[in-house]
Structure formats: C-alpha cells, structure tokens
Amino acid sequence: MARPGAACPPPARRVMVAARALLFWALVYSYCGTFRWVVRENPPSCLNDPSLGTHCYVRIKDSGLRFHYVAAGERGKPLMLLLHGFPEFWYSWRHQLREFKSEYRVVALDLRGYGETDAPPHKENYKLDCLIADIKDILESLGYNKCVLIGHDWGGMIAWLVAICYPEMVTKLIVVNFPHPSVFTEYILRHPSQLIKSGYYFFFQMPWFPEFMFTLNDFKVLKSLFTSQATGIGRKGCRLTAEDIEAYLYVFSQPGALTGPINHYRTIFSCLPLQHHEVIMPTLLLWGERDAFMEVEMAEITRIYVKNHFRLTILSEASHWLQQDQPDIVNKLIWTFLKEETKRKRE
C-alpha cells in the first residue's frame, strides 16, 4: 500500500492528467456556449433556385481535380468568371448571376477546396501558383480563351494574379474589396492597424485549431462575420436572409469543409512578395468603406500598378461583403464600366 503523500504510480498519474485535460476542455466548451456541430444533410432550396443558373462540373486534366460551378446565360456569349472570397462560395454571386446572364455566360466558381469542388488534403496543394493555374485551366476547359474576370476578397487576390500572369486571358478586370497584392504586402508591413485587421492570416497558420473554433456553438463565428455590427452587412445594406445564412451553414458544416478554404491562407507566406506587378487591362476596383478587414487607403494606392484605364468607386455605407451588401449599386457600376470600355474600344 502506498504511503500517504507518496507519488502516484505512473498509470494513476496519467489518469489524473487526462482528467484535468478533460475538465479544462469541458470548461472551454461551456464558456464558448454549447459545443454543437450540426451537419446539415439537405441543402436549403435557395441553392437549387433555377433563376441562378445550372449546377455544372468540370474535371481539369493536369491536376485531376473536379470543379463545381453554377452557370447562367447562353453558351457562346462572352464569359464572365466570378471568384468568391472567404468564407464564401459560389452563392455569394447570386445577385450577379441573375443580373448579367442577359449578355454574358456567367460562371460562379467554387474555388479549390470549397463547396462541391475537390479539396486536396495537403496544404502545399493550395499555393498561389496552383490557384492561378486553376483559373487558366478552367477557362480553357469551358471552351474560352478570354473572359471578364471578377473577384472578391481572396478571389480578388487570385483575380489580380491571373491578370498579371495571363493578361491575354482577361479582357476586363473587376475586383471587389481587395487591393493589388503588392499594395497589400507593402501596406501591411508599414501600418500596424492593417496588420491587426489581418491577424487571422497568422491565426490560420495553426493546424486544426482554426477549423475547431469555427464549429463552436454551431458555427457562431461564421454567422457573426455576416451579421454582427462589427463585421457584417450594415443597416443600410441588403442583409442576408435566414435561408442565405443556412446556405452558408450547409456548405461549411460538412465534414472537412473548412480545411480546404483555410489551407489557402496556410501557404501565402511562401508565395509573396510578387516578382511581376503590372496590370495592363482596363480595371474597376469597387470598395466598401466600412470594410472591417481592409483599410480603404489601399484602394487608391492600387492605381499605380494599373497601366490602363483604372476606375475606383468607394461606397461609404457598404461593408466588406459588397456585392451582397449593395447588389443593385454594384451591378450598375459594373454595367457602366463594361459598356464604357466597349464604347472606348469603338472610338
């Protein structure tokens, strides 16, 4: 029999350590709210709304990956390719799919790792070089050699890079709430306030824990990004409906659905800074001034990297989620830019 005060034998010590760890995590779960992760088995009806277009898939020969996209408008019309941000998917372009299908073949893509698009398991498969090549390969697989390219947030980063690396494939570039990548990397190093706003880039470098935090309290963080006073769509914006929110929860609650999107960020520091910078096609930059993640000063600086017609429009009452926040104004600005550029070419 062990004497009082004697050290516990190794097995007992391990049990005590495990019990303490279990108690610690139980407290964490209690503090964060009920630890619930509901996997939605059936998509909300809005994701199959026929007015948004047709769900399609294309397999890329070189990578072997299958990409999901929603397409609206007749085949053969000029291509408008839409690249979403984080944490979003093709549905963030629902207002633009309906709007531009009259004159374009509009394709809203699920980026590599998102939604129904294949998600390679290793973070090395999400380097910017791979993401840029995806867009080039998808364009060719769709039977096009050029497009109007539109990107928001992280999709904006990819759109800038595609325009830089494959200028012959982009007739017009439209970016929403993301500066030229060189502006972003230079600005963040000189402005601590932007470094703080971009702190999630560093948080996402951790393995598994960011995904875990998103699942707490049935994806409370995800909901808050779109609805909270600090980061969400403002009171003058077009707020997401309960069904819109459920669409996001359906996609990101699927097992493993967050790892691919977060892996996009886990390789960024190995790919920047850029070697090439100039953008040579007509460019429209749209910006919501109430963006909680990107400082508006970067928008104006972007002008120096565009060696063609450059139009910047800043919407004072709009948030980071601009094309969902102010869809009517955004669509009107895009139409004006597209028709203005067509007229400019004729002259």
Distance of CA 101 to the CA centre of its chain: 22
Q: Confidence class of residue 2 from pLDDT cuts 50, 70 and 90? A: very low
Which whole number is the average pLDDT over 159-165? 97
Question: What number of other Cβ atoms are within 10 A of residue 20's Cβ?
Answer: 10
Q: Which of 13-22, 50-59, 159-168 has the lowest mean pLDDT?
A: 13-22
User: What percentage of residues in the chain have a pLDDT greater than 70?
Assistant: 86
Q: What is the pLDDT of residues 73-92, one digit of tens each?
A: 999 999 999 999 999 999 99
Q: What local confidence, expressed as pLDDT, does residue 15 receive? A: 46
Average pLDDT over residues 151-179: 97
Note whether 327 and 236 are within 8 A (CB): no
Residue position matching structure tokens 């088995």: 41
314 φ/ψ angles, rounded to the nearest 5 degrees: -110, 125
Q: Residue 22: its pLDDT value, please?
A: 46
CA 111 from centre of chain: 8
The shares of helix, strand and coil residues in the chain, as percent rounded to the nearest 5, are: 50, 15, 35
Q: Which of 68, 152, 264, 320 is catalytic?
A: 320
Q: What is the mean pLDDT of the chain?
A: 90
Q: Judge whether residue 30 has pLDDT over 50.
A: no
Among 104, 187, 265, 305, the active-site one is: 265
Tokens of 158: 């990819």
Confidence of residue 271 (pLDDT cuts 50, 70, 90): low
113 forms beta bridges with none
Supply the pLDDT for residue 340. Answer: 86
**Residue 160 confidence (pLDDT) above 90:** yes
- Sort residue 239 into left (φ over 0), alpha (ψ -120 to 50) or beta: beta
Structure tokens at 55: 């769900």
Tell me if residue 134 is catalytic.
Answer: no
- Specify burial of residue 149 (Cβ count, 10 A radius: 0-12, 13-18, 19+): buried
User: At 66, phi and psi to the nearest 5?
Assistant: -100, 125
Catalytic residue among 153, 244, 291, 325: 153
Given pLDDT bands bounded at 50, 70 and 90, which one contains residue 20? Answer: low
Lowest average pLDDT, out of 97-111, 130-144, 290-304, 333-347, goes to 333-347
Higher pLDDT, 344 or 254: 254
153 has catalytic annotation: yes
* pLDDT tens by residue, 88-121: 999 999 999 999 999 999 999 999 999 999 999 9
| C-alpha distance across the termini of the chain, in Å | 99
- CATH superfamily, region 67-339: Alpha/Beta hydrolase fold, catalytic domain (3.40.50.1820)
Angle in degrees, CA 290, 291, 296, rounded to 5? 90
In the prediction, which pLDDT does 331 show? Answer: 98
Lowest-confidence range among 33-47, 189-203, 207-221, 247-261? 33-47
Distance from C-alpha of 189 to C-alpha of 170, rounded to nearest angstrom: 30
Residue that is written with structure tokens 């400019």 in the block:
344
Structure tokens at 284: 């429209």
39 against 299, higher pLDDT: 299
